[in-house]
């Protein structure tokens, strides 16, 4: 006779049976090899022998460890050990409960003779029959407690060979698993008997609500479905109608509902359990008193059917009444149900006598979006990929729905105040929920060895020593993390050129992109200033709304390492105001349909930011070189009159003095004094992002075109970036671009940057360099030293490896891209910050600083 055993898809299956009862074969027949952990195997792992009883303690240590790890990861696990004694099983049940998975027992109850015969056939199991007899009797003695009191969700007993052979095992999805439901959804907050508002809201959301013969029908023409976050009942005027509507919608497969604490309490009251009548329960009971006995029974059944939480959309969305911790999602246990209904409390009581709620959402770091209610708040607030949609309708607030996946909020006001809240609804300025959780970053978001997955590149590793270094810079010098939504990646130079007198030349960059299959590149003049990121908001309101910054700033300007560019806050404010004005005058707010944008720029002069570098490194080298080379030349000339050998040295040093002078000229190009805004020149070259738009996938023509408009309205502050678009298979065009570069650089220009036209581009092996710099030979004097062009120096300098730099450039680019993507998607701050922090940490990796 065939029999089917149903097992929850996530459970700890404990096989119970005497030695030789066939547990291992049974397990292998019904489960994957990797799902089975056998105590014999663990014994062999630690002691080299499956039967070494003296290693039992260690073997079970290993078994427990593996089982824990699997359960933590949400994997069904089968324990193949005798488990005939209650104390053995107790440990395993606890293990399952600790991981919020269901413990299931399958008992193989075989006659001891069969077991004994089987063991006899195995040379390694030559123990007396008393062992098996003891097992069997312990098993039978424990069956009763196993069934009743050991805490198993299910106990399946298979008696004899026939039953064991005939059984089939079916895995059952958990009740909370609605991963196959992909929406779109409308998730509605706590209703508390506010039936009219519910109807109004549903209509506003586009649902058709009708009623025929006491039966409600709710339908959306686009196939949307409703999810109720619970607390349908109590306090409000029409609890029975709400129950009807929700129940019918669920029956018609148009809705889902999780259980709220009020729903649960009403159920218990209806079941005749003793409950304290408070917090609006009386209203529900009174209203139900007006209904039929049948309806009350129906209500009881309905409320009893509600479960703690649901997981939807492949795990992308979870709904629970009071929220849920990451490790609870998709699992089942009594403690989870408690958490889902009541949340967590700190154990303290506030001034209104209510328990202080623990802000679990602030700790949440998961990728599943969590929607919940339970605590009325004036405005729904996003906290780390979670949102509370209880806007206190019954207290005269609103009834709110979150549209998923759109993440838009839709609400209707309450018709009246139905109940007085025990404490006033928290507002932005008081109480726990008023404090923005947006800016509270956790150290564990950034420290230690980290592996960050990005859209452009998988698993970018950040080593601990680098995050240690970055933490100091970030926390002591960087601007507010709420502004710091991007850091510029490093950029690699061209492969080394072997052209006479050159270390770098555009030819190598053309070659690189051509070899990657790129057709068109843009060559942009490289300005020699300091890299600057400029964020401009339309107004301070935007800064508050979008960046959560409320200190009156409407933008910032920061350096490659996240420091404020201007040491003078007044100057920065003026500067930002000027940029904002230009954006307004160029009508970019409208053209881009945004009220903020982030620009990638070069801010000149170099001396504005590099003054100490100039005074402590660049100019001193020039002085020292000039003094000693000119004095040496003089003395050698004097000596040459007497000693002919000196002639060669004399010529040599004369030439070197000239190089020192060229070096001085090279850096002087990039210096001028700055006193006020007009003395600066800002050359933007990317509009990295704006509202709802990450622009690192838009081609460079788009960027240059808009930036030109910006430069045109304020040519005094803004400086245009000259550029040439080059088709790579047009040799003449390439040559012409090289000439253009030569001309710019001999006049003192830094050089140019060559980029694939499409911005983020892929080659044969994935992501390719988003830009390659070709620096001019005079400029390179300030990188490689005054005398680097002497042939014997140049030859040696040519052996330089770019591999590390290029890999770093790609990793930083991917992280920067991810950071902005998160910001544009309105992800929680810690997601943005993790990536930005990663760029800073990578910057502390050892790479030749001259590249």
Partner 1 sequence: MLLTITTTHSPATDIGYLLHKSPDNLHSKKLPFGQAHVFYPEATKEKCTAALLLDIDPIGLVRKNRGTAFPLEQYVNDRPYVASSFMSVAINRVFGTLLSGTSKHRQELVDQDIPLKTKIYALPCRANKSFLKDLFEPLGYDVETESYALDRKFPEWGDSSYFTLTLEKSCPLRELLIHLYVLIPVLDNKKHYFIGDDEVEKLLQYGEGWLQDHPQKEKIANRYFRNLRSFSRIALDRLADDSPVIDDDEESGDPVKADSQEEALEDSIKTEKKVSLHIQRHKAVIHALKEHNITTLLDLGCGEGKLLRFLKNEKSFSKIAGCDVSIKSLEIVLERLKPDEQRRGEPEIELFQSALTYRDKRFSDYEAATLVEVIEHIDVSRLSALERVVFEAANPRVVIVTTPNSEYNTLFETLSAGQFRHTDHRFEWTRLEFKDWANRVAKSNGYEVSFHPIGDEDKKYGAPSQMAVFVKPDIEEKKAG
Q: Find the shortest distance in angstroms from Cβ 761 to partner 1.
A: 28
Strand pairing category for 167-172 and 3-8: parallel
Which residues are bridge partners to 12 per DSSP?
A: 77, 103
User: What count of Cα atoms within 13 Å lies in the side-chain half-sphere of residue 387?
Assistant: 24
Least CB distance to partner 1 at residue 483 (A): 10
User: What is the number of other CB atoms lying within 10 angstroms of the CB of residue 502?
Assistant: 20
Cα 584 to its chain centre, rounded Å, is 33
In contact, 574 and 680? CB cutoff 8 Å: no
Q: How far is the CB of 843 from partner 1 (least distance, A)?
A: 6
**Token pair of 322 as six digits:** 């009071």
CB 544 within 8 A of CB 537: no
The nearer residue to partner 1, 447 or 693, going by C-beta atoms, is 447
Of the candidates 450, 514, 585, 417, the residue with the CA atom closest to the CA atom of residue 728: 514
Task: State whether the Cα torsion 498-504-505-508 is positive or negative.
Answer: positive
For tokens 């160029």, name the residue: 586
Q: C-beta of 616: minimal distance to partner 1 in Å?
A: 4
**Closer residue to partner 1, CB minimum distance, 397 or 529:** 529
The nearest distance, CB 86 to partner 1, in angstroms, is: 38
Pick 373 or 786: Cβ nearer partner 1? 786
d(CA 728, CA 198): 62
Would you say 463 or 722 has its CB closer to partner 1? 463
C-alpha torsion angle, residues 419, 422, 428, 430 (rounded to 10):
160
CA 848 and chain centroid, separation: 31
Our measurement of the distance from residue 719's CA atom to the centroid of its chain's CA atoms, rounded to an integer in Å, reads: 37
Q: What secondary structure does DSSP assign to 543-554, as a single string?
A: HHHHH---SS--
User: Are 138 and 17 spatial neighbours (Cβ–Cβ below 8 Å)?
Assistant: no
H or E element at residue 169: strand 167-172
CA distance 357 to 379: 18
Give least dist CB 642 to partner 1, A.
7
**Tokens 């304290």 map to which residue?**
276
CA distance 129 to 113: 8
Rounded to the nearest whole angstrom, what is the least distance from the CB of residue 643 to partner 1 in the complex? 6
Q: How many CB atoms lie within 10 A of CB 200?
A: 16
Query: At its nearest, how many Å lie between partner 1 and the CB of residue 461?
Result: 15
Nearer to partner 1 (CB atom), residue 288 or residue 549 = 549
Comparison of 94 and 796: residue with beta carbon closer to partner 1: 796
* Alpha-carbon distance values, 173 to 7, 71, 155, 177, 563 (Å): 9, 16, 18, 6, 52
Phi, psi torsion values for 347, nearest 5 degrees:
95, -10
Label residue 214 exposed, middle or buried (CB < 10 Å: 0-12, 13-18, 19+).
exposed
Strand order in the sheet with 408-413: 255-257, 225-228, 185-188, 398-404, 408-413
- Choice between 162 and 465, CB closer to partner 1: 465
Question: How far apart are CB 679 and partner 1 at their closest, in Å?
Answer: 14
Q: In whole angstroms, how close is the CB of 668 to partner 1 at the nearest point?
A: 6
Q: Indicate the residue among 441 and 533 with the shorter CB distance to partner 1.
A: 441
Give, in order, the Cα–Cα distances in Å from 842 to each of 313, 395, 446, 474: 35, 51, 12, 13
Which residues, at least 6 apart from 321, have a Cβ–Cβ distance to it below 8 Å? 229, 230, 231, 258, 259, 260, 261, 308, 309, 340, 341, 372, 373, 374
Shortest spacing between CB 487 and partner 1, in angstroms: 11
Nearest approach in angstroms of CB 568 to partner 1 is 14
Closest contact distance (angstroms) between CB of 846 and partner 1 is: 6
CB-nearer residue toward partner 1: 481 or 770: 481
In the complex, the smallest distance separating the C-beta of residue 541 from partner 1, rounded to whole angstroms, is 18
Give Cα separations from 403 to 204, 308, 385 (angstroms): 12, 21, 14
- CB closer to partner 1 out of 510 and 784: 784
């Amino acid at each position: 006779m065939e029999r089917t055993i149903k097992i929850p898809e996530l459970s700890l299956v404990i096989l119970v049976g005497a030695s030789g009862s066939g547990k291992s074969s049974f397990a292998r027949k019904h489960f994957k090899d990797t799902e089975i952990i056998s105590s014999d195997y663990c014994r062999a792992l630690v002691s080299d022998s499956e039967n070494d009883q003296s290693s039992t303690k260690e073997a079970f240590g290993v078994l427990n460890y593996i089982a824990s790890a699997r359960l933590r990861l949400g994997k069904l696990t089968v324990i193949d050990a005798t488990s005939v004694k209650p104390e053995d099983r107790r440990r395993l049940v606890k293990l399952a409960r600790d991981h919020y998975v269901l413990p299931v027992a399958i008992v193989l109850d075989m006659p001891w003779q069969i077991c004994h015969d089987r063991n006899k056939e195995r040379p390694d199991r030559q123990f007396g029959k008393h062992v098996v007899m003891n097992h069997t009797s312990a098993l039978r003695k424990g069956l009763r407690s196993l069934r009743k009191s050991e805490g198993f969700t299910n106990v399946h007993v298979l008696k004899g060979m026939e039953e064991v052979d005939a059984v089939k095992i079916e895995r059952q999805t958990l009740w909370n698993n609605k991963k196959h439901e992909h929406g779109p959804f409308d998730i509605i907050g706590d209703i508390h008997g506010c039936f009219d508002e519910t109807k109004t809201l549903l209509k506003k959301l586009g649902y058709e609500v009708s009623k025929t013969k006491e039966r409600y029908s709710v339908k959306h023409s686009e196939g949307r479905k409703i999810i109720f976050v619970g607390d349908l009942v109590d306090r409000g005027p029409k609890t029975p109608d709400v129950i009807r509507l929700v129940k019918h919608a669920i029956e018609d497969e148009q809705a889902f509902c999780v259980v709220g604490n009020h729903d649960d309490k009403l159920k218990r009251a209806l079941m005749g359990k003793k409950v304290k009548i408070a917090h609006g329960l009386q209203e529900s009971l009174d209203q139900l008193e007006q209904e039929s006995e049948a309806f009350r029974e129906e209500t009881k059944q309905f409320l009893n059917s509600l479960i703690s939480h649901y997981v939807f959309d492949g795990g992308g969305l979870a709904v629970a009444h009071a929220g849920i911790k990451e490790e609870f999602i998709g699992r089942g246990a009594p403690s989870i149900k408690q958490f889902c209904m009541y949340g967590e409390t700190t154990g303290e009581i506030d001034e209104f006598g209510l328990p202080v709620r623990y802000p679990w959402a602030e700790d949440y770091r998961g990728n599943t979006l969590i929607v919940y209610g339970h605590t009325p708040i004036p405005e729904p607030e996003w906290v780390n990929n979670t949102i509370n949609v209880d806007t206190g309708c019954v207290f005269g607030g609103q009834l709110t729905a979150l549209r998923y996946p759109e993440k838009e909020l839709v609400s209707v006001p309450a018709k009246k105040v139905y109940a007085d809240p025990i404490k006033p609804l928290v507002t932005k300025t008081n109480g726990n929920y008023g404090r923005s959780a947006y800016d509270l970053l956790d150290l564990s978001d950034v420290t230690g060895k980290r592996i960050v997955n990005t859209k452009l590149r998988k698993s970018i590793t950040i080593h601990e020593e680098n995050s240690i270094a970055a933490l100091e810079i970030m926390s002591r010098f960087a601007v507010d993390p709420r502004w710091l939504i991007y850091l510029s990646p490093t950029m690699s130079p061209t492969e080394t050129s072997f052209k006479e007198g050159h270390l770098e030349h555009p030819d190598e960059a053309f070659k690189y992109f051509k070899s990657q299959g790129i057709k068109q590149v843009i060559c942009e003049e490289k300005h020699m200033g300091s890299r600057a990121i400029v964020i401009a908001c339309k107004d301070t309101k935007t800064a508050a709304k979008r960046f959560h910054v409320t200190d009156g700033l409407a933008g910032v300007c920061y350096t490659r390492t996240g420091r404020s560019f201007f040491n003078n806050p007044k100057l920065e404010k003026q500067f930002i105001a000027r940029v904002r004005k230009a954006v307004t005058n160029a009508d970019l707010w409208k053209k881009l349909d945004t009220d903020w944008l982030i620009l990638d720029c070069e801010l000149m002069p170099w001396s504005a930011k590099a003054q100490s570098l100039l005074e402590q490194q660049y100019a001193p080298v020039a002085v020292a070189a000039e003094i000693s080379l000119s004095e040496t030349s003089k003395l050698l000339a004097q000596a040459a009159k007497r000693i002919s050998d000196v002639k060669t040295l004399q010529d040599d040093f004369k030439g070197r003095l000239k190089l020192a002078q060229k070096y001085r000229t090279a850096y002087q190009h990039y210096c001028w004094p700055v006193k006020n805004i007009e003395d600066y020149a800002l050359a933007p070259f990317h509009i990295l992002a704006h509202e709802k738009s990450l622009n690192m996938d838009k081609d460079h023509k788009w960027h240059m075109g808009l930036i030109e408009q910006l430069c045109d309205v304020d040519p005094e502050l803004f400086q245009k970036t000259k550029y040439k678009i080059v088709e790579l298979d047009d040799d003449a065009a390439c040559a012409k671009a090289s000439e253009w570069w030569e001309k710019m650089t001999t006049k003192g220009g830094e050089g140019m940057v060559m980029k694939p036209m499409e911005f983020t581009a892929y080659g044969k092996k994935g992501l390719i360099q988003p830009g390659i710099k070709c620096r001019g030979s005079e400029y390179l004097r300030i990188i490689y030293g005054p005398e680097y062009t002497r042939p014997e120096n140049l030859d040696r300098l040519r052996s330089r490896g770019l591999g590390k730099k290029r890999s770093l450039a790609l990793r930083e680019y991917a992280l920067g891209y991810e950071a902005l993507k998160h910001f544009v998607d309105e992800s929680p701050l810690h997601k943005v910050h993790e990536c930005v922090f990663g760029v800073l940490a990578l910057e502390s990796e050892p790479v030749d600083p001259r590249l």
